[in-house]
């Protein structure tokens, strides 16, 4: 049985390096779930801008948040659509010539529509998802949200209408005549790692680090 895919169109079709493209929803979701930072594009006063945002994914929805005066969130809500990109750098590909240097990566580009999350209980649940996408099981260790905090927070739901992923996970691709040169070539693997947690000043300095935070540290060394 074929995996479910996003249909291809001029909007989401990968043209350059098409052999590295995938439209499979499961592979795209796996790339999304491996991170918690996305890049959101918008137009503000006629100028294109892209900024990073924390996010959470649930089914075919991406959730982001900011202050009620956040110009990016207000702009994309007004336009009713945007594009979101997520990318993970996996390695530096060092070739025998400068032209053939590259990187190994996993990237996703999404296109979709937007709506504002209105109800306090729904906003709270989304914020739980965002925090837990960053550090699993962290939300339940925190104090409850104040009403005034929710009132100052704008939460946006982005529905994925279509998307595509592009993945490079191979070695050096040099010119045939260059392989006999006395030049080192290869891959430098890259990964994001967690270092040992540092307590905030005050009571946390005397407290045991929660198990779920240590689990995250150990799982991301």
**pLDDT tens digit string along 85-117?**
999 999 999 999 999 999 999 999 999 999 999
Confirm if 112 and 59 have CB atoms less than 8 A apart.
Answer: no
Which has the closest alpha carbon to 114: 84, 159, 49? Answer: 159
Confirm if 72 and 66 have CB atoms less than 8 A apart.
Answer: yes
The dihedral region occupied by 186, where left means phi > 0, alpha psi between -120 and 50, and beta the remainder, is: left
Mean pLDDT, all residues of the chain: 96
What size, in residues, is the chain?
221
Task: Please report, rounded to a whole number, the percentage of residues in the chain having pLDDT higher than 70.
Answer: 99
187 has which bridge partners?
A: 93
Place of tokens 């890259």: 190
Confirm if 12 and 85 have CB atoms less than 8 A apart.
Answer: no
CA 9 to chain CA centroid, nearest Å:
23
Confirm if 184 and 97 have CB atoms less than 8 A apart.
Answer: no
Separation of alpha carbons 127 and 64, rounded Å: 9
CB-based contacts of 21: which residues, under 8 Å, 6+ apart?
13, 14, 164, 165, 166
Q: What does the block give as tokens for 50?
A: 């892209």
Separation of alpha carbons 87 and 3, rounded Å: 22
**End-to-end Cα separation, the chain, in angstroms:** 37
Q: What is the pLDDT of residue 70?
A: 95
Q: CA 64, 67, 68, 71 torsion: positive or negative?
A: negative
**All structural domains of the chain:** 18-190 (2.30.110.10), 193-221 (no CATH)
Q: What is the pLDDT of residue 66?
A: 97
Q: CA 132, 88, 161, 44 torsion: positive or negative?
A: positive
Q: Give the three-state DSSP class for 182.
A: coil
Q: What is the pLDDT of residue 2?
A: 62
pLDDT tier, 1 (very low <50, low <70, confident <90, very high otherwise): very low
**Angle at CA of residue 214, ends 211 and 216, nearest 5°:** 110
pLDDT (tens digit per residue) in 140-191: 999 999 999 999 999 999 999 999 999 999 999 999 999 999 999 999 999 9
Q: How far is CA 140 from each of CA 6, 63, 144, 204, rounded to the nearest angstrom?
A: 35, 19, 9, 17
């Amino acid at each position: 049985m074929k995996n479910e895919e996003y249909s291809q169109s001029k909007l989401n079709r990968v043209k350059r390096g098409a052999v590295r493209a995938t439209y499979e929803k499961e592979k795209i979701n796996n790339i999304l779930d491996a991170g918690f930072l996305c890049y959101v594009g918008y137009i503000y006063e006629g100028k294109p801008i892209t900024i990073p945002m924390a996010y959470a994914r649930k089914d075919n929805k991406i959730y982001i948040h900011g202050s009620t005066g956040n110009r990016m969130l207000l702009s994309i809500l007004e336009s009713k659509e945007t594009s979101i990109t997520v990318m993970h750098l996996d390695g530096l590909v060092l070739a025998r010539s400068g032209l053939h240097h590259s990187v190994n990566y996993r990237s996703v580009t999404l296109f979709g529509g937007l709506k504002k999350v209105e109800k306090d209980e729904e906003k709270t649940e989304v914020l739980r998802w965002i925090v837990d996408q960053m550090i699993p099981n962290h939300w339940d260790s925190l104090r409850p949200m104040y009403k005034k905090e929710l009132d100052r927070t704008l939460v946006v739901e982005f529905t994925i209408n279509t998307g595509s992923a592009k993945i490079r996970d191979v070695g050096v691709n040099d010119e045939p005549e260059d392989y006999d040169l006395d030049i080192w070539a290869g891959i430098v693997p890259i990964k994001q790692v967690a270092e040992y947690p540092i307590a905030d000043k005050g009571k946390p300095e005397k407290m045991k680090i929660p198990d779920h935070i240590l689990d995250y540290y150990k799982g991301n060394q």
